Amino acid sequence: MKKTLLIILAIFIVMQFKQTDKTNKLVAQNLEIKAPENITVMLKNACYDCHSNEVKWPWYSNIAPFSWIIDSHVSNGRKSLNFSEWEDYTEEEKKKKLKEIFRTAYASMPLAGYIKFHKEADLTREQRTMIRMWTGVKK
């Protein structure tokens, strides 16, 4: 039993040597999405930690394997939509992204696991409706 615990501890310690890149790429402010202040606040509270270059890395993002999971979520989130680089998208890409925001704002984002640790990200039905209306997408 002791030997097994020591092996598990050793594996956990070795895992800590594989650190993730937690940098936030500097981007010109003029590239960030432009939205009314109330929408911007909601997006920053609920979306920016995975969909921008303004990630607030939590303390547990320094502990493997959680760091790997969080890094994967942020990398994938930035690839699918990055509010910090909005103006780099073509008009067609922006329309597509707004449709995706309209669809996911209904219920699927932010993820339940994220909301558990970030209560400010838990959007009310009214806030979700406001974001959906802001996109300009018709049902």
The DSSP H or E segment spanning 112 is helix 112-117
* Within-domain flag for 123: yes
**CA pseudo-torsion sign 45, 46, 50, 51:** negative
pLDDT, residue 93, reads: 97
Q: Which two tokens stand for residue 113?
A: 């696991």
Q: How far apart are CA 104 and CA 125, in angstroms?
A: 13
Count of the separate structural domains present in the chain: 1
Q: Which two tokens stand for residue 80?
A: 């699918």
3-state DSSP assignment of residue 34 = coil
* Within-domain flag for 50: yes
pLDDT, residue 26, reads: 77
Asked whether the bond before 58 is cis by omega within 30 degrees of 0, the reply is no
* Within-domain flag for 22: no
Nearest to 25 by CA among 101, 79, 96, 90: 79
* Within-domain flag for 125: yes
pLDDT, residue 108, reads: 79
The DSSP H or E segment spanning 72 is helix 66-80
Walk along the chain (139 residues) in steps of 10 and give the mean pLDDT of each run.
81 74 77 94 92 86 83 90 95 96 86 84 92 89
pLDDT, residue 124, reads: 92
* Within-domain flag for 129: yes
Domain that holds residue 109: 34-54+64-139
pLDDT, residue 38, reads: 96
pLDDT, residue 22, reads: 73
Place of tokens 């979306």: 47
Count, residues in the chain: 139
* Within-domain flag for 3: no
pLDDT, residue 91, reads: 96
* Within-domain flag for 49: yes
* Within-domain flag for 12: no
pLDDT, residue 76, reads: 92
